[in-house]
Amino acid sequence: MYKKTLWGAAACALLLASAAAQQPKTASQGIDEYRAMLQDGNPADLFEAKGEGLWKQKRGPKNATLEQCDLGKGPGVFKGVFVELPRYFPDTKRVQDLESRLLTCMSTLQGFDEAELAKTAFGRGEQNNLTALATWIAAESKGMKFNLSQSHAQEKVFYEVGKRLFFQRAGSHDFSCASCHGEEGKRIRLQDLPRLTQNPGDGVGFAAWPAYRVSNGQMWGMQQRLNDCYRQQRFPYPGFASDATIALSLYLGVNSKGAVSIAPAIKR
Ligand code: HEC
C-alpha cells in the first residue's frame, strides 16, 4: 500500500514538474508526454513477474501448477494466445476471454472454486492472482498483432451480441458505450475517449489492457475495465467473466484486427 502511494506521488510530481517547465500545450499532448515518461518504469512489470511465478507454482486444493492450462493454442502454450482471445473453446463449449479461461484452468487444474473466485471483489485474494496471471500472459504477446477468429458460429454470435451491447442505451442517463466511445475526439476531463467501433480506436483502447492505472495505483484486467465503464454508464455491475463482458471484448477485439498489442500498458 505504502509503495503504491509512493508511485502515485512520484507520478504526480513528474506531471507537475513537466507542466511547469514547458510551454502551454493541449491536454492530450500533455497526457501523451506524461505516458511516455512513465513507460520506463511501468509497475506492471511487478505483476508480470508475480504472474509468471504463479503459473509455475503448485497451488490450490489439488496442489497443481497451471502449466497444462490450454489458453487456445494447446496445453502450456502462452506465447501469442492473448492476441487471439476471446475465442471458442470446445471443452467448455463457451467463448472465453483470457480471464474467464484462467478461471477455468484454476478450477479444473488446481481445484479452486470457480463460483467463489468469480464472486471475489477485484483486487482481493485470488482475484489479485488472476489479474497478475492475465498481466503476464498478455505481456507474452506484446508487439504481436490482434487476430481474433470469427470462424466458429458462436464467435459470430458473440460479435453480434457484443455489437448490440455496445449500442444498447438504457439506465438513468440513457447512455450506451457508444455515447462515450462512438465518435472521434471525445474527452472526459483529461481523458481521451478512443472511438471503439473501429481500428485504430480499438487498437488503442482494447490492445492496452491489462493496464497499470497510475491514478489509483492498481493493476486492472479487461474485466475490471469493462465493469468500471458499466458503472460510468450507470448500469448494474455485470458478473465476473459473464457472457456479456466476453461478447463486448470479442467485439472490441475483432475490431482491433491488425493492431499491435501494447499490453500491459500504463494508464492515467
Ligand atoms: C460515461 C462515459 C462512458 C461510458 C458510457 C463508457 N465508458 Fe469506457 N471509458 C470512459 C472513460 C472516462 C475511460 C477512461 C478511463 C480512465 O482512464 O479513467 C474509458 C475507458 C474505456 C476503455 C479503455 C480505453 C483506453 O484508452 O485505455 C475501454 C476499452 C472502454 N472504456 C470500453 C467501454 C465499453 C465497452 C463501454 C460500454 C459497456 C463503455 N466503455 C462505456 C467513459 C465511458
* 117 and 172 co-located in one domain: no
For the CA of 179, the nearest atom of ligand 1: 5
What span, in angstroms and rounded, lies between the C-alpha atoms of 209 and 36? 17
| Over residues 249-255, mean pLDDT | 95
The whole-number pLDDT of residue 2 equals 45
Give pTM, 2 decimals: 0.87
* 195 and 262 co-located in one domain: yes
* 124 and 224 co-located in one domain: no
Cα(111) to ligand 1 centroid in Å equals 34
What span, in angstroms and rounded, lies between the C-alpha atoms of 77 and 56? 13
How many residues are recorded in the chain?
A: 268
* 128 and 157 co-located in one domain: no
Please list the active-site residues: 229
* 132 and 211 co-located in one domain: no
* 104 and 72 co-located in one domain: yes
233 lines ligand 1 (CB under 6 A): yes
The region that residue 189 occupies, defined by phi over 0 for left and psi between -120 and 50 for alpha, beta otherwise, is left
28 lines ligand 1 (CB under 6 A): no
Cα(181) to ligand 1 centroid in Å equals 7
* 95 and 200 co-located in one domain: no
pLDDT in tens, 43-66: 899 999 999 999 999 999 999 999
The whole-number pLDDT of residue 190 equals 59
The whole-number pLDDT of residue 26 equals 74
pLDDT in tens, 193-214: 878 877 776 667 888 899 999 8
Phi, psi dihedral angles at 88 (to 5 degrees): -85, 135
- Give the residue whose CA is nearest to atom 8 of ligand 1: 229
Residues 181, 194 contacting (CB under 8 angstroms) = yes
- Residue 40 CA, chain-centre distance (Å), reads 20
Using alpha carbons, select from 73, 9, 66, 38 the residue that is nearest to residue 211. 38
99, 115, 139 - which closes a domain? 139
Find cell 475517449 and name the residue. Answer: 193
Residues 223, 241 contacting (CB under 8 angstroms) = yes
* 199 and 168 co-located in one domain: yes
* 157 and 256 co-located in one domain: yes
Q: Assign residue 158 the CATH number of its domain.
A: 1.10.760.10
| Within a domain: 144 | no
* 94 and 47 co-located in one domain: yes
**Interstrand relation of 211-213 and 265-267 (parallel, antiparallel or unpaired):** parallel
Q: Best substitution site from 204, 231, 232, 237 to test ligand 1's pocket, by max atoms within 8 Å of Cβ? A: 232
What span, in angstroms and rounded, lies between the C-alpha atoms of 57 and 65? 5
Phi, psi dihedral angles at 141 (to 5 degrees): -115, 10
Q: Which three cell numbers stand for residue 176?
A: 450506451
| Within a domain: 120 | yes
131 lines ligand 1 (CB under 6 A): no
The whole-number pLDDT of residue 22 equals 53
Question: What is the average pLDDT score of the chain?
Answer: 88
Q: Which residue has the higher pLDDT, 33 or 264?
A: 264
Name residue 192's beta-bridge partners: 187
- Give the residue whose CA is nearest to atom 37 of ligand 1: 177
* 108 and 123 co-located in one domain: yes
What span, in angstroms and rounded, lies between the C-alpha atoms of 99 and 58? 19
pLDDT in tens, 166-190: 999 998 999 999 999 887 777 766 5
**Poorest-confidence range of 29-38, 79-88, 105-114, 171-180?**
29-38
* 16 and 46 co-located in one domain: no
| Within a domain: 260 | yes
| Within a domain: 251 | yes
| Within a domain: 85 | yes
Question: How many domains are there within the chain?
Answer: 3
Q: Is the pLDDT of residue 241 over 50?
A: yes
| Within a domain: 145 | no
| Within a domain: 147 | no
Q: What angle do CA 153, 159, 163 make, to 5 degrees?
A: 150
| Within a domain: 50 | yes
Which residue range forms the structural domain that includes residue 126? 42-139
